[in-house]
Structure 1
Amino acid sequence: MENQIFQFGRELNEVQLYYQPVDEFDKTVKTRYEKMSADIFRNAGAGANWVAGEIANLIKRKAAAGEQCILGLATGATPIGVYTELVRMHKEEALSFKNVITFNLDEYYPMLNGSAQSYNFYMDDVLFNHIDIPRDQVHVPNGEIDKEGIFNYCKQYEALIDSFGGIDLQILGIGRTGHIGFNEPGSQLDSQTRLIMLDALTRRDAAKDFNGLTKVPKAAITMGVGTIFKAKRVLLMAWGEGKASIVKKALEESQCDAVPASYLQRHRDVKFVLDVPAASELTRVKNPWLVGNVEWNRYWIRKAVVWLCNKLEKPILKLTNRDYNDNGLSELLAWYGSAYEVNIKVFNDLQHTITGWPGGKPDADDTYRPERALPANKKVLVFSPHPDDDVISMGGTLKRLVDQKHEVHVAYQTSGNIAVADDEAVRYLSFVKSFTRSHDTNEGNLQDVIEDIRKFLLENKKPGGIDTPDVRRMKSLIRRGEAKAACRYVGIRSKNIHFLDLPFYETGMVKKNPIGERDVQIIVNLLRKVKPNQIFAAGDWSDPHGTHRVCWEGIYQALQIVKDEDWLDDCYIWLYRGAWQEWDLDEIQMAVPISPEELQNKRNAILRHQTQMESAPFMGDDSRLFWQRSEDRNRTTANLFNKLGLSEYEAIEAFVRYNV
């Protein structure tokens, strides 16, 4: 057992959060820290399908009894999978909604009901337009109500819910502030339907849907916590690592108005429905030795020791028997007899992840190295979801691979055009217009196109509006130019730069299409053309509906198609993370040290993406620029290694290996 657990050779596991057996998180696991029922599903799709099934069963039971089914519905990214499955059930299984009456939780205010950002539009788009529900049985708060009439309107909305005997089943998401509906921190347990000011974090999270924070409404109409509490049953869904910390607070900590979702601890029938990443901070998932027995393997041993080091602020080799016994890890000592034995093995295990040769070191013993020595000069294919993720996430490693004479290809999966601010596009237009005039090119048609684009951006485009095809093309070219400049800086040859422009992305909106056969075939064609020995791809999947996750899904499906081809037998697949999150130390399987000079070079490559500096529309809730986030993340990773007693480096880029 000992050798099997700590051998670092070729039998590396997939990303731990995505390969745990489902039954490892089922109801039989002790949940002493959780104050509400929670079911954990392997992925968001499985969880959403289960919720859809519960809704469908309720509708059928009510219909069979000749009763109406009163549903409370949520909006946003979280319930989309539920609505997709319900539409499928209606079309393929004849699920009828004729006995259903719906009440939506909330709506931005002020908001035109026909606006692409309104929840009225959202519900029509994802559900109501595709099922047989009578329109007079649909109720979504009206964002067009005059402010003077809002108080009475909210009272009437509340009374209408009560007139049907209350909601039978309420589905919820949870915001990163802990809000349910738009009940922000400070909302009271007995609050009713009302107008509420939105928290700054909630508005920042919504900025991507409005093409910028300044365009996000500052208020919303929402059902109150008390309104939600009247529901006979509540199902709260959360997907992705981004929700993990707030899920832990709501489920495991005491109820308080700072986390409105924690009030649900008082509800008589509530269940949290989570995917594994959203549950990753729960004690039974993150520290299972605190709630029961653990089947100790290499992953859990490393995780437990790193956790203990961080808790006690001690390096690995200074942990004592007393440290293990006092912190719930006596069972681990029983396996090995002493802290020394465990410490030295985990120390060596982590030490073996560190390498200055991300493509493998030629003519070296690679028994304990994360990458194999042969072939000495590898074909490397780096997939980048957007035109800057490569240098943000692994710019130092990218340069190292080039300098160590590997044949490096970069494939930009999407155009990234919606991330170019309108002001940036106008700036480029002004240059082109001046340039063509100064050279007397007689490009009359080009001038007309330029003028049409300029007029659209400056005069005709509505907040959150969709760009015209010409505008999207221009913004795509802007990002291509920046990507090429960054590639040139790190030494990647022009012929090895691939712009895939996957079709799923080209909607002109934040909402994208699902990955399709055309997208997958484009990736398959590139894989067969390059036949790489190494693949690097984005593994930051915290948002299950984000571009990074969809891009990975395309790669995953492509790999399933080519998995029996000979070249893949000699291919390692490494997952990186970028500007939004980093791998936990206990997950890292290859750590590439970055010197101060290399970190500066990485910054310079990121700075080639000028449109993604201060004016980038999708900066999220982090005020730092992308190069600052990247440097801070890499320095933090190096510091964590150092605190465990390992070598001190300026920065480290981290990777986890994925097995097909």
Structure 2
Amino acid sequence: MARLNLLEETRYEKLPVTIYPDAQTASVAVAQRIAKLIRNKQANGSKAVLGLATGATPVAVYKELVRMHREEGLSFQHVITFNLDEYFPMQNDAEQSYVTFMHQNLFDHIDIPAQNIHIPDGTLRKEDVAAFCINYEKQIEDAGGLDLQILGIGRTGHIGFNEPGSAPNSGTRLVTLDDLTRSDASRDFGGKENVPTKAITMGIGTIFKAREIVLMAWSAKKAPIVKKAVEGEISGEVPATYLQLSDNVEFVLDADAASELTRFYTPWLVKDCVWDEKLKKKAVIWLASELNKPVLKLTEEDYNNHGMAQLAVEQGPVYNINIDIFNKIQHTITGWPGGKPNADDTQRPERAEPAKKRSIVFSPHPDDDVISMGGTFIRLVDQGHDVHVAYQTSGNTAVWDDEVLRYVEFAIDFNESIGNDTTHLKGVYDTMRSFMGQKHPNQIDTQEIRNVKGFIRKAEAIAGARYAGLPDSNIHFMALPFYETGKTKKNAVGEEDIRLTMELLQKVKPHQVFAAGDFADPHGTHIVAFNIILTALQRLKQTETWVNDCWLWLYRGAWHEFETHEIEMAVPLSPQEVLRKRQAIFKHQSQKDTPVFPGDDAREFWVRAEDRNRDTANKYNQLGLAEYEAMEAFVRYKF
């Protein structure tokens, strides 16, 4: 019976899927599977032939394999590897090279013979690539074929570098990279313009010959493409869907990457549910959105025709369910994000008391505060709360080099205008220009250049916070050490990051903390910054009583927005407040027009923010609630 229930739950899924609670657990499981294959092959006196992938996805798998080699004696003496792909052209010793990646993450730490390692050659002359690719296929065949191929999945649905339009029988070849793929790689190369336009990749047909195929995906960023690959129709537009044709494939996902699969996102379509308040709200909002109806106009027939008959029977009549959910959504709306004084707060998202609250807005980058919650920020100040803003990082990797020259030129002119000696400053300027003229993509800036970039972002953040109404005493620049590497890859969080955060929290003793909950941030800074805040609050909670009265609110907006059913506080903005928010964002001039790392959204940050805020308001309006110009959304995190 349990097997029948599972088949019913997974009936939309067209290939086997295994889901683990988190990426680390999943990675260890995949590593153990690889280790078992290696040991079995060694026991039989044969070699294990592995197809390996690069990128962030397999890093923890390789780390676990290295651990097993060091601590459990796992030997790679009889392992042959073939990597999926390599950028073209690409020097082997380049930081972005997959040769470098594989040696740093695996090969330099195990006992694999050098002659057993095969990686596509990015140093070839273009006219030699075709012959190389034919030979690469022959080498795989001569080794006995791939025993196990591990894969990641790109947001275009590519596997290897088989981009949309790739044929299912394609072999190893030179390909042109999709624009989104190049955008995703831009941070590693110091800008999209430095990302190669081509790559050498194993073909889909090559991958299909593997006796086992494991595709791994972690994080909510991958959830939309995972759903297409697992549940969608087979299409050249999503190359990973071709894996549905294989009898030897398994998708290994963490819970976040699996979150948009039907059995998790809309479970009522595939099974009976335990209808708690959270799921009921999600289902009713989903139904209203699917039918483009206000919540109060949903009928019993609507419920029955869309997998929600169980809810109608157990908790109906449906009109009562509609009224209950409508009220819950309505109660999330407040013009008083710090709580409305002298009001009944039983149905309000924030407490009425104390009437004047101490609030800290934590901003991972120096502009996240105004981009994501600028209207609420201004509203809190206008309503008399003691608002502080804390810029967690300097943001000094996200400033164009020519901005540095412009500001230093200004400093030289200003000093000369007041009679100061500029000899040293001109020397620094000349050194900067010389460095920039010879700078390689993603090369670490000199300390002077990093300082100026940090000063630029600091000055902009001060201007934005002042525009919101904050006194200078309430503007805090933390420059957390984890960020200050000068590289796009940051250090692990250390005790100093947590200590600095605890000190600020202890100083302010806030009733409210606002933190970035937009973990789709392509730089990964948001999730790191949030975990630092959370750790600091949890430690303080052990000794400080004020923490028990501190509420933690998450905001989004820079990259994505909360779904309607998740929102617990929606702050409406008037047309004038939208304009005020826009002006606060405009203070961040170095991030206007084209920022250094824009992600895959070509719109300027202020346009993104306004579009998302208006979209949230429109969704509320379509559910039958009042029509507002825009809304900023928040979810309370209970720690």
**TM bracket (short chain):** over 0.9
Which sections of structure 2, spanning at least 5 residues, go unmatched? none
- The residue aligned with 2:506 is 528
Inter-partner Cα distance in structure 1 for 2:8 and 2:389 = 43
The Cα offsets for residues 343-366 of structure 1, whole Å up to 9 and x where unpaired, read as 000000001111111111111111
**Alpha-carbon distance, 1:111 to partner:** 1.3
- With over 3 angstroms needed to count, the CA separation of the structure-2 counterparts of 1:460 and 1:384, relative to structure 1, is same
Confirm or deny: 8 A CA contact 1:44 1:544 kept in the other structure. no
Is residue 526 of structure 2 the alignment partner of residue 548 of structure 1?
Answer: yes
The letter for the 1-side match of 2:500 is: I
- The residue aligned with 1:109 is 88
**Alpha-carbon distance, 1:629 to partner:** 0.2
Q: SS at the partner of 2:564? A: coil
Confirm or deny: 8 A CA contact 2:183 2:192 kept in the other structure. yes
Is residue 40 of structure 2 the alignment partner of residue 75 of structure 1?
Answer: no
**Alpha-carbon distance, 1:536 to partner:** 0.9
Q: SS at the partner of 1:471? A: helix
Inter-partner Cα distance in structure 2 for 1:513 and 1:38 = 33
Is residue 338 of structure 2 the alignment partner of residue 359 of structure 1?
Answer: yes
**Alpha-carbon distance, 1:514 to partner:** 2.3
- With over 3 angstroms needed to count, the CA separation of the structure-2 counterparts of 1:428 and 1:302, relative to structure 1, is same
- The residue aligned with 1:15 is none
Q: How does 1:416-435 map to 2 (within 5 A)?
A: 416-435=395-414
Q: SS at the partner of 1:417? A: coil
**Alpha-carbon distance, 1:615 to partner:** 3.4
- The residue aligned with 1:7 is none
Deviates further, 102-111 or 582-591 = 102-111
- With over 3 angstroms needed to count, the CA separation of the structure-2 counterparts of 1:544 and 1:207, relative to structure 1, is closer
The Cα offsets for residues 582-601 of structure 1, whole Å up to 9 and x where unpaired, read as 00001111111011111111
**Alpha-carbon distance, 1:147 to partner:** 0.4
- Equivalent of residue 275 in structure 2, options 274, 289, 296: 296
Q: SS at the partner of 2:9? A: coil
Q: SS at the partner of 2:397? A: helix
- With over 3 angstroms needed to count, the CA separation of the structure-2 counterparts of 1:497 and 1:28, relative to structure 1, is farther
Q: How does 1:170-189 map to 2 (within 5 A)?
A: 170-189=149-168
Inter-partner Cα distance in structure 2 for 1:542 and 1:485 = 27
- With over 3 angstroms needed to count, the CA separation of the structure-2 counterparts of 1:67 and 1:281, relative to structure 1, is same
Confirm or deny: 8 A CA contact 2:405 2:429 kept in the other structure. no
Inter-partner Cα distance in structure 2 for 1:406 and 1:60 = 64
- The residue aligned with 1:461 is 439
Stretches (4+) displaced over 4 A: 26-29
- With over 3 angstroms needed to count, the CA separation of the structure-2 counterparts of 1:214 and 1:230, relative to structure 1, is same
Deviates further, 629-638 or 466-475 = 466-475
- The residue aligned with 1:481 is 459
Is residue 42 of structure 2 the alignment partner of residue 63 of structure 1?
Answer: yes
- With over 3 angstroms needed to count, the CA separation of the structure-2 counterparts of 1:78 and 1:177, relative to structure 1, is same
Is residue 240 of structure 2 the alignment partner of residue 261 of structure 1?
Answer: yes
Q: How does 1:157-556 map to 2 (within 5 A)?
A: 157-457=136-436, 459-542=437-520, 546-556=524-534
**Alpha-carbon distance, 1:270 to partner:** 1.4
- With over 3 angstroms needed to count, the CA separation of the structure-2 counterparts of 1:65 and 1:524, relative to structure 1, is farther
**Alpha-carbon distance, 1:516 to partner:** 2.4
Confirm or deny: 8 A CA contact 1:43 1:275 kept in the other structure. yes
Confirm or deny: 8 A CA contact 1:239 1:544 kept in the other structure. no
Inter-partner Cα distance in structure 2 for 1:305 and 1:44 = 31
**Alpha-carbon distance, 1:618 to partner:** 0.7
Inter-partner Cα distance in structure 2 for 1:288 and 1:496 = 46
Confirm or deny: 8 A CA contact 1:71 1:101 kept in the other structure. yes
Inter-partner Cα distance in structure 1 for 2:415 and 2:117 = 55
Is residue 132 of structure 2 the alignment partner of residue 147 of structure 1?
Answer: no
Inter-partner Cα distance in structure 1 for 2:626 and 2:395 = 38
Q: SS at the partner of 1:512? A: coil
- With over 3 angstroms needed to count, the CA separation of the structure-2 counterparts of 1:437 and 1:59, relative to structure 1, is farther
- The residue aligned with 1:558 is 536
- The residue aligned with 2:10 is 31
Confirm or deny: 8 A CA contact 2:412 2:422 kept in the other structure. no
Inter-partner Cα distance in structure 2 for 1:543 and 1:478 = 22
- With over 3 angstroms needed to count, the CA separation of the structure-2 counterparts of 1:267 and 1:544, relative to structure 1, is farther
The letter for the 1-side match of 2:511 is: N
Inter-partner Cα distance in structure 1 for 2:520 and 2:42 = 38
Inter-partner Cα distance in structure 2 for 1:620 and 1:69 = 39
Confirm or deny: 8 A CA contact 2:518 2:558 kept in the other structure. no
Confirm or deny: 8 A CA contact 1:583 1:654 kept in the other structure. yes
Deviates further, 514-523 or 468-477 = 514-523
Q: SS at the partner of 1:418? A: coil
Deviates further, 352-361 or 429-438 = 429-438
Inter-partner Cα distance in structure 2 for 1:35 and 1:290 = 16
- With over 3 angstroms needed to count, the CA separation of the structure-2 counterparts of 1:182 and 1:508, relative to structure 1, is same
Inter-partner Cα distance in structure 2 for 1:507 and 1:529 = 27
Inter-partner Cα distance in structure 2 for 1:127 and 1:383 = 37
- With over 3 angstroms needed to count, the CA separation of the structure-2 counterparts of 1:131 and 1:493, relative to structure 1, is farther
The letter for the 2-side match of 1:79 is: P
Q: SS at the partner of 1:72? A: strand
Inter-partner Cα distance in structure 2 for 1:506 and 1:101 = 39
- With over 3 angstroms needed to count, the CA separation of the structure-2 counterparts of 1:525 and 1:424, relative to structure 1, is same
The Cα offsets for residues 173-214 of structure 1, whole Å up to 9 and x where unpaired, read as 111111000001111111011000111111112112222221
Confirm or deny: 8 A CA contact 1:41 1:47 kept in the other structure. yes
Inter-partner Cα distance in structure 2 for 1:130 and 1:530 = 47
Q: SS at the partner of 2:241? A: helix
- Equivalent of residue 26 in structure 2, options 28, 47, 68: 47
Q: SS at the partner of 2:513? A: strand
- With over 3 angstroms needed to count, the CA separation of the structure-2 counterparts of 1:46 and 1:555, relative to structure 1, is farther
**Alpha-carbon distance, 1:144 to partner:** 0.8
Deviates further, 155-164 or 283-292 = 155-164
Inter-partner Cα distance in structure 2 for 1:420 and 1:87 = 37
Inter-partner Cα distance in structure 2 for 1:262 and 1:413 = 41
- With over 3 angstroms needed to count, the CA separation of the structure-2 counterparts of 1:545 and 1:388, relative to structure 1, is closer
Inter-partner Cα distance in structure 2 for 1:594 and 1:515 = 36
- With over 3 angstroms needed to count, the CA separation of the structure-2 counterparts of 1:556 and 1:40, relative to structure 1, is farther
**Alpha-carbon distance, 1:50 to partner:** 2.4
Inter-partner Cα distance in structure 2 for 1:341 and 1:127 = 59
Task: Say how many residue pairs are matched.
Answer: 635
The letter for the 2-side match of 1:642 is: N
Inter-partner Cα distance in structure 2 for 1:41 and 1:521 = 33
**Alpha-carbon distance, 1:443 to partner:** 4.0
Inter-partner Cα distance in structure 2 for 1:76 and 1:38 = 21
The letter for the 2-side match of 1:302 is: K
Confirm or deny: 8 A CA contact 1:321 1:339 kept in the other structure. yes
**Alpha-carbon distance, 1:92 to partner:** 4.0
Inter-partner Cα distance in structure 2 for 1:126 and 1:236 = 19
Q: How does 1:601-616 map to 2 (within 5 A)?
A: 601-616=580-595
**Alpha-carbon distance, 1:636 to partner:** 0.1
Which sections of structure 1, spanning at least 5 residues, go unmatched? 1-22
Inter-partner Cα distance in structure 2 for 1:428 and 1:537 = 31
Q: SS at the partner of 1:144? A: coil
Inter-partner Cα distance in structure 2 for 1:27 and 1:86 = 32
Greater length-normalized contact order (CA 8 Å, ≥ 6 residues apart): 1
Is residue 114 of structure 2 the alignment partner of residue 135 of structure 1?
Answer: yes
**Alpha-carbon distance, 1:544 to partner:** 8.1
Confirm or deny: 8 A CA contact 1:29 1:284 kept in the other structure. no
- With over 3 angstroms needed to count, the CA separation of the structure-2 counterparts of 1:241 and 1:125, relative to structure 1, is same
Q: Once superposed, what is the RMSD of the aligned Cα atoms?
A: 1.8
**Alpha-carbon distance, 1:251 to partner:** 0.4
What is the TM-score with the length of structure 2 in the denominator?
0.96
Confirm or deny: 8 A CA contact 1:421 1:615 kept in the other structure. no
Inter-partner Cα distance in structure 2 for 1:536 and 1:180 = 38
